Amino acid sequence: MEYQEKKLKTAGRFTYIASYTKDAGDRLLVLAAGDDHQAEVEAVLGAFPAAAPVILTLAPVEWDTDYAPWPAAGVFREQRDFGGGADDTLRSILEEGIPAVRKEFGLTAEPAKTAILGYSLGGLFAFWSLYRTDAFGLCATCSGSLWYPDLDKYCADHEICVSDARVYFSLGGKEAKTKNPVMSTIEDRTRALYTEFQAKPGITSFLEMNPGGHFKDVPRRIAKAAAWLFREEKAGDR
Q: How far is CA 147 from CA 72, 99, 225, in A?
A: 12, 32, 20
Name the residue ranges covered by the structural domains of the chain.
Answer: 4-230
Fold of 4-230: Rossmann fold (3.40.50)
Q: How far apart are CA 159 and CA 186, in angstroms?
A: 21
Question: pLDDT (tens digit, 0 to 9) for every residue of the chain, 238 residues total?
Answer: 688 999 998 888 999 999 999 887 899 999 999 888 899 999 999 999 888 999 999 999 999 999 999 999 888 777 789 999 999 999 999 999 999 999 999 999 899 999 999 999 999 999 999 999 999 999 999 999 999 999 999 999 999 999 999 999 999 999 999 888 888 999 999 999 999 999 999 999 999 999 998 888 899 999 999 999 998 533 334 3
**Of 41, 17, 30, which Cα lies nearest the Cα of 67?**
30
> Is residue 42 within 8 Å of 219, Cβ to Cβ?
yes
